[in-house]
Amino acid sequence: MGAYVVGQISIIDPLKWQQYRDKVPGTLVPWNAELVFRGVKAENLALQNAYNDIVVIRFPSLEAAHGWFQSDAYQALIPLREAAANVMLTSYEA
């Protein structure tokens, strides 16, 4: 069963955010993950969402998604992520 990680994002520091974005793809490779979609909010249609950006990453399994998040490679990026943006990450099983 596949899985997705969805990140809802409010950027604080665009330069640091770009540095973080540039480093994330390398952390996905060992987990056979694929960046599916990055986008910027166009309009709230129902309810209010405080986050302006979104990212969707596909993983072969929920275990792979959680393994990626807990990996040393990704954990090393969390301080940069936290300096760059407010990010809510959620995993979903497909």
What are the residue boundaries of the structural domains of the chain, listed by start?
A: 3-41+51-93
pLDDT confidence of residue 1 = 81
Query: Do residues 40 and 55 lie in contact, with contact meaning Cβ atoms separated by under 8 Å?
Result: no
Tens place of pLDDT per residue across the chain (94 aa): 899 999 999 999 999 999 999 999 999 999 999 999 999 999 999 999 999 999 999 999 999 999 999 999 999 999 999 999 999 999 999 9
Taking domain 3-41+51-93, whether its CATH number is 3.30.70.100 is answered by yes
pTM: 0.94
Question: How far from each other are the two terminal CA atoms of the chain, in whole angstroms?
Answer: 6
Buried b (16+ CB within 10 A) or exposed e, 38-65: eeeeeeeeeeeeeeebebebbbeebebb
